[in-house]
Chains A and B, each alone.
Chain A
Amino acid sequence: MTSLDPQRIKKDFPLLERTVRDGQPLVYLDSAATSQKPRAVLDAERSFYETSNAAAHRGAHQLAEEATEAYEGARARVAGFVGARANEVVFTKNATEGLNLAAYAFSNASALARHGREVDPRFALRPGDSIVVTEMEHHANLVPWQEVAAKTGATLRWIGLTDDGRLDLGDLGSVIDSSTRVVSIVHQSNILGTITPVRQVMDAAHAVGAIGVVDACQSIPHMPVSMADLGADLVAWSGHKMLGPTGIGMLWGREDVLATMPPFLTGGSMIEMVYLDHSTYAPPPQRFEAGVPMVAQAVGLGAAVEYLDDLGMDAVAAHEHELTGYALARLQEIDGVTVIGPRTNVERGSAISFTVEGIHPHDVGQILDSRGIAVRVGHHCAWPTCRRYGVPATTRISTYIYNDHGDIDAAVAGIRAAQKYFGVA
Chain B
Amino acid sequence: MDVDSLYQEIILDHYRNPRGVGLLPEPHGESHQVNPTCGDEVTVTVTADADGLLHVGYEGQGCSISQASASVMSELVEGRPIAEIHRVEAAFLDLMRSKGSGTPDEEVLQDAVAFAGVSKYPARIKCALLPWMALRDAEVKAGIPVEGGSYE
User: A: which residues have CB within 8 A of B?
Assistant: 21-22, 24, 360-363, 366-367, 369-372, 377-379, 383, 386, 392-393, 421-422
Contact = CB atoms under 8 A, between A and B. Distances in A.
A104 B7 CA distance: 46
A362 B1 contact: no
6 contacts: A22-B1, A24-B1, A362-B40, A386-B39, A393-B38, A422-B64
A366 B6 contact: yes
A379 B38 contact: yes
Given A378-B39, A379-B39, A422-B12, A362 B63 contact: yes
Contacts of B64: 360, 362-363, 422
Contacts of A422: 12, 64
B41 interface: yes
A24 B2 CA distance: 12
Nearest to A359: B64
A300 B75 CA distance: 55
Contacts of B61: 392
B70 to A, nearest CB: 13
A392 B1 contact: no
A362 B127 contact: yes
B41 to A, nearest CB: 7
Given A370-B1, A422-B12, A362 B38 contact: yes
B124 to A, nearest CB: 7
Contacts of A371: 1
B32 to A, nearest CB: 14
A370 B3 contact: yes
A370 B39 CA distance: 22
A180 B2 CA distance: 55
Nearest to A24: B1
A361 B38 contact: yes
Contacts, number: 50
A360 B3 contact: no
Contacts of B41: 392
B39 A393 contact: yes
List 10 A-B pairs, minimum CB-CB distance, nearest first.
A362-B63, A21-B1, A360-B63, A378-B38, A370-B3, A393-B39, A370-B1, A392-B39, A22-B1, A379-B39
Contacts of A379: 38-39
Contacts of B40: 362, 392
A377 B121 CA distance: 15
Interface in B19-33: none
Interface residues of B, number: 19
B59 to A, nearest CB: 13
Most B CB within 10 A of own CB, among A361, A363, A393: A363
Contacts of A393: 38-39
B62 interface: yes
Nearest to B62: A360
A361 B121 CA distance: 16
Most A CB within 10 A of own CB, among B6, B38, B41, B127: B38
A392 B124 CA distance: 17
Nearest to A392: B39
A45 B26 CA distance: 61
Given A361-B63, A363-B65, A370-B3, 5 more contacts: A361-B38, A363-B64, A366-B121, A370-B2, A392-B41
Given A362-B40, A377-B38, A383-B39, A421 B7 contact: yes
Contacts of B127: 362
A363 B62 CA distance: 10
B63 A363 contact: yes
Nearest to A383: B39
A379 to B, nearest CB: 5
Contacts of A369: 1
A301 B2 CA distance: 39
Contacts of A21: 1
A360 B127 CA distance: 12
Nearest to B37: A378
A416 to B, nearest CB: 15
A379 B41 CA distance: 13
Contacts of A372: 1
Contacts of B39: 378-379, 383, 386, 392-393
A370 B123 CA distance: 13
Most A CB within 10 A of own CB, among B2, B7, B61: B7
Nearest to A372: B1
A421 to B, nearest CB: 7
Nearest to A23: B1
Nearest to B16: A423
A353 to B, nearest CB: 13
Interface in B61-79: 61-65
Contacts of A362: 38, 40, 62-65, 124, 127
A363 B40 CA distance: 12
Contacts of B3: 366-367, 370, 421
Most A CB within 10 A of own CB, among B1, B7, B64, B65: B1
A369 B64 CA distance: 16
Contacts of B38: 361-362, 377-379, 393
A12 to B, nearest CB: 27
A393 B37 CA distance: 10
